[in-house]
Amino acid sequence: MSGPFLREFLGNPNGGFVKAKVTVKLKSAVLDPQGKAVCHAAHSLGILEVEDVRVGKVFEIQLTGQDAESAQKKLKDLADKLLANTVMENFEVEILK
Amino acid sequence: MKVGVVVFPGSNCDHDLYHVLKEGLHLDTIFLWHKEHDLQGCDAVFLPGGFSYGDYLRCGAIARFSPIMKEVEQFAKKGGPVLGICNGFQILTESHLLPGVLLRNNSLQFVCKNTSIRVESNQTPFTKKISPSHILSMPVAHGDGNYFIEEEGLKRLEGEGQVVFRYVDSSGKPSEAANPNGSVKNIAGICNAAKNVVGLMPHPERTSEGLLGTVEGKIIFESLLG
């Protein structure tokens, strides 16, 4: 048993947690061949109204602690260093709970 | 000269590279496991191709945080020669040792074929024995080799002579048809501003032995020998 499982088993010593969502998107200047392929596939399905598709990533993250502000700061740091490559991607951090 | 080949979980060109350096060039060659904290006195470091950490998140994104990469970064900043091939190139861009990024191939297909690359600069430790404009034939094998850099960065690369290899056709022109992945300006390999760190998508270690049909890639390793 390790990490989150252990924490769940023992209970969170700090009490409470913060749930957050980090969305990573390709910058508008970067071409997205995956999005194009999805757009073409939508047309093959007969949904011709689909005009443009950009594919991104969503990370659902749970942090211990209750302080939304500090969670926001930590997640910005995490997104900047790991979740996104800021050469090609932008990110948004959203605290849910 | 002592050289090191870094091994990450998921590297799969590490032994090919080791073989070329050890048996082909008779260099004192060692493997450097990603968890090590010491380059053990290596004079040059190689990051091999493969799928480090299963290409999770982004190619090279997790490998960047391996303990050995801290040492590689310091070594590179002191001017030590570092060559990243394929996944090694991706790791170097994720580590910010090289500018830009390698996106998904524009075809969305994994591309595995022979390419011709023109040497654009002999100012790096891995190309100094090659005359500029010389064309080398070597294979690519990647899904994410589409080199991208924003316009200003591209101007800097071109202006400072940091484009080292370009995909070309049989007449030596960087045509669209010769570009296997959609890389901006047909870029196949680049170097950093100090020119000691080089990354390329094609595989010179797969063309360094007569048995494999050609030894055109061997000159990249021989260049290191001064």
What is the widest separation between alpha-carbon atoms in chain A?
Answer: 53
- Are B57 and B65 spatial neighbours (Cβ–Cβ below 8 Å)? no
State how far Cα B124 lies from the chain centre: 12
- Are B44 and B226 spatial neighbours (Cβ–Cβ below 8 Å)? no
Nearest chain B residue (CA) to A55: B104
pLDDT in tens, A13-44: 557 899 999 999 999 989 898 999 999 999 99
Q: Over the range B30-56, which residues count as b (16 or more CB within 10 Å of their CB) and which as e?
A: bebebebeebeebebbbbbbbbbbebe
Q: Over the range A13-47, which residues count as b (16 or more CB within 10 Å of their CB) and which as e?
A: eeeeebebebbbbbeeebebbbebebbeeeeeeee
Residue B46 CA to residue B217 CA, distance in Å, equals 15
- Total residues belonging to chain A: 97
Residue B182 CA to residue B176 CA, distance in Å, equals 8
Mean pLDDT of all residues belonging to chain A: 88
Q: CB distance B101–A31 less than 8 Å?
A: no
Instruction: Kindly indicate the confidence band of residue A97, based on its pLDDT and cuts at 50, 70 and 90.
Output: confident
pLDDT of chain B along its 226 residues, tens only? 999 999 999 999 999 999 999 999 999 999 999 999 999 999 999 999 999 999 999 999 999 999 999 999 999 999 999 999 999 999 999 999 999 999 999 999 999 999 999 999 999 999 999 999 999 999 999 999 999 999 999 999 999 999 999 999 989 999 999 999 999 999 999 999 999 999 999 999 999 999 988 999 999 999 999 7
Pairs across A and B, CB distance < 8 A: 33
Tokens representing B19? 């073989």
Among candidate residues B35, B22, B26, B29, the one with its CA nearest the CA of residue B4: B29
Q: Is the pLDDT of residue A8 over 60?
A: no
* Contact B94/A at CB under 8 A: yes
Q: How far is CA B106 from CA A37, A52, B119, B186, in A?
A: 10, 16, 23, 12
Q: CB distance A88–B101 less than 8 Å?
A: yes
CA angle B119, B141, B175 (to 5 degrees): 45
Q: CB distance B106–A82 less than 8 Å?
A: no
What pLDDT is attached to residue A88? 94
- B 157-196 residues with CB < 8 A to A: 182
What pLDDT is attached to residue A4? 54
Return the bridge partners of B117, or none.
B136, B167
The ipTM value here is 0.83
Residue A41 CA to residue B85 CA, distance in Å, equals 34
One DSSP character per residue, B76-132 reads: HHTT--EEEETHHHHHHHHTTSSSSEEEPPTTSS-EEEEEEEEE----STTTTTS-T
Tokens representing A39? 């757009």
Distance from CA of B97 to the nearest CA of A (A): 13
Tokens representing B164? 């080292």
**Residue of A30, A37, A85 lying closest to B58 (CB–CB):** A85
Tokens representing B144? 């994410």
Residue A14 CA to residue B144 CA, distance in Å, equals 42
* Contact A34/B at CB under 8 A: yes
What pLDDT is attached to residue A1? 43
Residue to substitute from B66, B104, B152, B183, interface A, most A β-carbons within 10 A: B104
Residue B45 CA to residue B29 CA, distance in Å, equals 10
* Contact A83/B at CB under 8 A: yes
Nearest chain B residue (CA) to A34: B108
Nearest chain B residue (CA) to A33: B106
Return the DSSP state at A48: T
Catalytic residues of B: 86, 203, 205
Q: How far is CA B164 from CA A81, B133, B195, in A?
A: 28, 10, 10
Q: How far is CA B223 from CA B41, B188, B206, in A?
A: 20, 18, 17
Cβ contacts of B58 on chain A, cutoff 8 Å: 85
Nearest chain A residue (CA) to B56: A83
pLDDT in tens, A75-93: 999 999 999 999 999 999 9
